[in-house]
Structure 1
């Protein structure tokens, strides 16, 4: 097998689009990891407070934080699976083109699986955002002047 310079250029062209997708998935992973880190930090603060003094509000907030962390973990898992599938697509494109092997069905299947994983990732992220927003509204409602005056 003798690869020509133009063949290598063609293989690189095939891999460019999935590489941009991989960059987007990496950015998504950074967002998810940052959200998880903030959830973990807040969880540690509340757990320390609960160790000193029990409070139903802190306990309720902890329950919400645990739920959010599970959703973010699922999203991270799916984003990682998507990244893996994109890497497989790139590898199969290079292998198929350089070895003249027909991997079209495998490339398509890996790409579809990656997109399904990315859709799932976004779905879990959106669900986590809804829960976080609902928690903020609930916290704001508890701190409104009318509710503070009632206490």
Structure 2
């Protein structure tokens, strides 16, 4: 029969789990930002989609390009959110296994390390996709030359 773990083992497990819990807070922040960006992109796509059905000529082509970019941004946002959630789940498993590791005489070191590496890879790729999404977003938001030239004429 296995003895009940000593309180010091539980305290040590809690101390070990503090860092991953802070990581969870950071991942939650990334999820919050990504979800907000996704909501804004979806709202913009609805507006552009409505305008696209009524546009003709160069304006139609511009809106078509924008809606395609918005569709790509939605996909990238969703992928980033998915990876961040996978990372958060892995971090939760790491915390759980840190406690179990104390109970089972340190036999779970390898799974803990592998899950932590997986969590870091997932969140790293999620951050990379986030920067891709922001670059896609800024590539569409260009002030058209005719607007800039019109503003310059008005200042002279």
TM over 0.5: yes
Please say if residues 11 and 98 of structure 1, whose CA atoms lie closer than 8 Å, have aligned partners that are also in contact: no
Distance in 2 between residues matched to 1:148 and 1:42, nearest whole Å: 28
Q: 1:118: Cα distance to partner?
A: 1.1
Distance in 1 between residues matched to 2:84 and 2:93, nearest whole Å: 14
TM-score normalised to structure 1 length: 0.88
Which has the larger displacement, 50-59 or 39-48?
50-59
2:121 alignment partner, one of 104, 116, 120: 116
Distance in 1 between residues matched to 2:36 and 2:25, nearest whole Å: 17
Larger Rg: 2
Distance in 1 between residues matched to 2:42 and 2:55, nearest whole Å: 20
Aligned length: 148
Q: Which consecutive residues of structure 1, in runs of 5 or more, have no partner in the other structure?
A: none
Distance in 2 between residues matched to 1:75 and 1:15, nearest whole Å: 25
Is it true that 1:102 corresponds to 2:104 in the alignment?
no
Please say if residues 29 and 79 of structure 1, whose CA atoms lie closer than 8 Å, have aligned partners that are also in contact: yes
RMSD: 2.0
Please say if residues 52 and 63 of structure 2, whose CA atoms lie closer than 8 Å, have aligned partners that are also in contact: yes
Cα distance, 1:61–1:15 mapped onto 2, change above 3 Å: same
1:75 alignment partner, one of 66, 77, 80: 80
Write out aligned runs for 1:23-34 (5 A). 23-34=25-36
Distance in 2 between residues matched to 1:40 and 1:109, nearest whole Å: 36
Is it true that 1:2 corresponds to 2:4 in the alignment?
yes
Is it true that 1:133 corresponds to 2:138 in the alignment?
yes
Q: 1:101: Cα distance to partner?
A: 4.3
Q: Which consecutive residues of structure 2, in runs of 5 or more, have no partner in the other structure?
A: none
